[in-house]
Amino acid sequence: MSTDHEYFATCPLFLEDLLASELESFGATDIKQQKAGVAFKGTLEAAYRTCLWSRIANRVLLPLREFSIEDKDQLYKGASLIRWENIISPDDTFAVSATLTRSPLKNEKHAALIVKDAIADYFRNLTGSRPDVDRSQPRARINLHAHGTEAVLSLDLSGDSLHKRGYRLEGSSASIKENTAAALLYRSGWAEIASQGGAFVDPMCGSATLPIEAALIAGDIAPGLYRTYFGFYGWMKHDPDLWEDLWDEAEERKEKGMKHIPPVTGYDQDGKVIPRALENIQRAGLNGIVHAEKRELNALRLNESWRGPGLIAVNPPYGERLGDVENLRSLYRSMGDIFSERFPGWKMTMITSSGELSKSTGLRAEKTNSIYNGPIKCILARFSLYENPNERKEHSGKKAIPLEQRISPALNSFVNRVRKRNKHLTKWAKRENISCYRIYDADLPDYNVAIDLYEGKWALVQEYAPPEEIEQEKADGRIKEIMSVLPEVLELSRSDIFLKTRRKQKGKAQYSRVAATGKREVVNEWGSRFWVNFTDYLDTGIFLDHRIVRSMIKDMSNGKKFLNLFCYTGTATVHAAAGGAKSTVSVDSSKTYTDWARDNMALNGFGDRKHKYVKEDCFTFLKNCKDRFDLIFLDPPTFSNSKSSRSTFDIQRDHVSLIKLTAGRLEKGGILIFSNNFRKFKLDEKALDKFNMEEISEKTISEDFRRNNRIHRSWIIQAKEV
């Protein structure tokens, strides 16, 4: 008759109930949930099944001895009292790990070393030899856990964390752990959905962990089948025959279950992660069953071959990984719109670190759970997807209440202001043949945002950081009000209105990525076309306030050699080429932006060799450059610290040296257009007295930026004739 043992299975916090349910199905008894683990009793078969089948557990520990410790001597003595010859062979390898909480022993490595010495000395005294240490894959792994003065020494039957299935060798930069992914799927009711033939979709699959785990659950595939190593292999009481029987049973269940896996698909806009995903799918033996491909979020569509309502599960970017929470709201809003409009009747589960981001989807979560994704505490939000709420209202037959009657007087003032400015500026823009322009710029102090319209199709809302005396909660409330009324005021879909938060930028923060949709649109400006991105960066790819400067560059470029320093996305370069420039050189320290500049030029048909793109610090470029140019555009940031530069750049402090260095690359009679966005900037005319300088700021501020006429300062600079 099989003997019951006491065991302890560890797991991530907040998943104890899921692990307890698994253990019950494995035949465990006397199950007791504890913090980050579950104690249970069971036969050796129950322990083996846990190692082979648990999708939630990290480790399965067999306690060997409990004792009290006050110091290292008591730890050594307690470890020496275990009859180690009944646990491991002196001919095998072993390793010791330790975790200490509020213990009189403070150093975990030192504590593990004490236990290792006790075991080695025990065997040396008993047999004259001792087992060797192997820290990577020992035949037996001993675990010390000490909480306060109470210590437990256990044999780690799992050997290595069970979340390491064996199919994933390499993850994307924001991978989800395998047991966390399985927990998400358990909480989502995926097993029942799959049993009814429902499909699974992960629109941001990364290395395909979620799709693979979904297939394993749907196909009744034991996650332990991919592992080649367990910690009980070197245990003296290991039963190889029992283990082989359980392994064979799992193989049989896998063979049957794989025939019933419904469609499982992973998409990602980042083409670089798809090869990793496909490699992981292949290692899991799921080729032809789990599908992965590059696809942008906006291209997500319901496949007609997918039967019945399915499950969307997604691990999107959140603040801790890729940027500020506010800057990701538009991405989450897009997800909510796309999922609800294109997958009616489906379920959707999302893991995110922020409840605010979850709410930004515009969907009401039916259930939320706490969960950890690595070290980050997150929430797991579950939704039922219905048709677009606005469409439901339209078909409900109820008379709509006018917007003015549904909002506060303060918000009504904002709405009226936006409508008035939009009407005026839209007429002006049409006369000037302008399709991208600003319609509101913090006109009312309580609504501290800028609103830009692009092509009449999209709107960008830029939230300025509130003054320190304004509580963040109040500022957030204003933003929610703004975003709630703009779709109706601007007559745009909510998914076409994007929100960004502007704060004082340090270093290169203004150019850092805040999301990763990869979604780009094309906009027009006076005959030229440009790629813009409303979600992934703080700026869209075109500075609207500089359109007149770009027009001047176009008019001045015919037959000229043009240099664009701090070129950003190369919009000025495109206008120079369109104006007939003899050649162009675009310089920026960011590969993202030199590539973007090249894309913009190609979009306009300028792909020949006379147009060059240089990824280099602009100071370094100028110091090494031997060429001279007829026209140079210099539009540096207010502040930056380049990876390739040992020092920072400050426009007020460094503009004299930068202008002199740049002017040194001008041909005789050449023109330098200098511009910057520092509102308190003062040009040091005395230090630059060898140049003719004409401020043209007033001429370069167009109608839509008149309320903010210090948004940039611009000069035309030429060397004085000697």
Residue 72: pLDDT over 90: yes
Between β-strands 37-42 and 436-441, what pairing exists: parallel, antiparallel or unpaired? Answer: unpaired
Tokens encoding 422: 């939009």
* Rounded CA separation 425/439 (Å): 6
Q: Residue 76 domain-assigned? A: yes
Q: Find the range with the poorest average confidence among 102-116, 252-266, 327-341.
A: 327-341
* Rounded CA separation 579/569 (Å): 18
- Whether 376 and 497 share a structural domain: no
As a whole number, mean pLDDT of residues 180-185 equals: 98
* Rounded CA separation 675/697 (Å): 9
- Whether 214 and 152 share a structural domain: no
- Whether 548 and 692 share a structural domain: yes
Report residue 256's pLDDT band, with 50, 70 and 90 as the boundaries. Answer: very high
As a whole number, mean pLDDT of residues 163-192 equals: 87
Residue 107: pLDDT over 80: yes
Q: Find the range with the poorest average confidence among 144-153, 215-224, 398-407, 629-638.
A: 398-407
Q: Find the range with the poorest average confidence among 372-376, 528-532, 546-550.
A: 372-376
Give per-residue pLDDT as tens, 647-690.
789 999 999 999 999 999 999 999 999 999 999 999 999 999 99
The whole-number pLDDT of residue 514 equals 53
- Whether 442 and 490 share a structural domain: yes
As a whole number, mean pLDDT of residues 8-15 equals: 97
Q: Residue 688 domain-assigned? A: yes
Report residue 507's pLDDT band, with 50, 70 and 90 as the boundaries. Answer: very low
The whole-number pLDDT of residue 508 equals 44
Q: Residue 246 domain-assigned? A: no
As a whole number, mean pLDDT of residues 458-475 equals: 84
- Whether 464 and 590 share a structural domain: no
Which sign does the torsion angle of CA 473, 474, 475, 477 carry? positive
Residue 388: pLDDT over 60: no
CATH of residue 107's domain is 3.30.2130.30
- Whether 357 and 429 share a structural domain: no
The whole-number pLDDT of residue 307 equals 78
Residue 336: pLDDT over 70: yes
As a whole number, mean pLDDT of residues 373-398 equals: 68
Q: Residue 229 domain-assigned? A: no
For residues 458 and 521, the answer to whether their CB atoms sit within 8 Å is yes
The whole-number pLDDT of residue 153 equals 98
* Rounded CA separation 475/477 (Å): 5
Report residue 331's pLDDT band, with 50, 70 and 90 as the boundaries. Answer: confident
The whole-number pLDDT of residue 493 equals 80
Q: Find the range with the poorest average confidence among 98-102, 176-180, 400-404.
A: 400-404
As a whole number, mean pLDDT of residues 459-488 equals: 86
- Whether 427 and 569 share a structural domain: no
Residue 249: pLDDT over 90: yes
Which residues is 382 bridged to in the sheet? Answer: 349, 367
As a whole number, mean pLDDT of residues 345-354 equals: 93
Counting other chains too, the contacts that 385-388 makes at CB distance below 8 Å and 24 or more residues apart are 385/312, 385/339, 385/340, 385/343, 385/344, 385/345, 385/346, 385/347, 385/348, 386/340, 386/344, 386/345, 387/340, 387/341, 387/344, 388/337, 388/340, 388/341
The whole-number pLDDT of residue 509 equals 42
Residue 554: pLDDT over 50: yes
Give per-residue pLDDT as tens, 120-133.
999 999 999 999 99
The whole-number pLDDT of residue 4 equals 87
Give per-residue pLDDT as tens, 301-315.
988 888 779 999 999
Q: Find the range with the poorest average confidence among 158-172, 341-355, 440-454, 679-693.
A: 158-172
Residue 699: pLDDT over 50: yes
Between β-strands 150-156 and 59-68, what pairing exists: parallel, antiparallel or unpaired? Answer: antiparallel
Q: 């003296």: which residue's tokens?
A: 236
CATH of residue 692's domain is 3.40.50.150
As a whole number, mean pLDDT of residues 196-206 equals: 96
For residues 335 and 349, the answer to whether their CB atoms sit within 8 Å is no
As a whole number, mean pLDDT of residues 403-412 equals: 88
The whole-number pLDDT of residue 305 equals 82
The whole-number pLDDT of residue 374 equals 86
- Whether 451 and 586 share a structural domain: no
As a whole number, mean pLDDT of residues 154-163 equals: 96
Total structural domains within the chain = 4
* Rounded CA separation 116/107 (Å): 14
- The residues, any chain, with a CB within 8 Å of residue 606's CB and separated by 6 or more, are 574, 577, 578
Residue 92: pLDDT over 50: yes
The whole-number pLDDT of residue 395 equals 35
- Whether 309 and 203 share a structural domain: yes
- Whether 557 and 698 share a structural domain: yes
Residue 531: pLDDT over 90: yes
Q: Residue 233 domain-assigned? A: no
- Whether 455 and 587 share a structural domain: no
H/E stretch holding 697 reads: helix 697-700
Task: Round the average pLDDT of the chain to a whole number and report it.
Answer: 91
Q: Residue 524 domain-assigned? A: no
Q: Find the range with the poorest average confidence among 17-26, 107-116, 448-457, 484-493.
A: 484-493
Tokens encoding 340: 């609800």
Q: Find the range with the poorest average confidence among 479-493, 544-558, 607-621, 640-654.
A: 640-654
Report residue 170's pLDDT band, with 50, 70 and 90 as the boundaries. Answer: low
Other beta carbons within 10 Å of 78: 21
The whole-number pLDDT of residue 642 equals 57
* Rounded CA separation 589/567 (Å): 9
* Burial environment of residue 695 by CB neighbours within 10 A (0 to 12, 13 to 18, 19 or more): middle
As a whole number, mean pLDDT of residues 110-120 equals: 96
Residue 391: pLDDT over 50: no
The whole-number pLDDT of residue 390 equals 47
Q: Residue 96 domain-assigned? A: yes
Q: Which domain holds residue 499?
A: 403-503
Residue 42: pLDDT over 70: yes
Q: Residue 378 domain-assigned? A: yes
Residue 571: pLDDT over 70: yes
As a whole number, mean pLDDT of residues 282-289 equals: 96
Tokens encoding 264: 């499982």
The whole-number pLDDT of residue 451 equals 98
- Whether 203 and 128 share a structural domain: no
Most confident of 531-545, 562-576, 604-618: 562-576
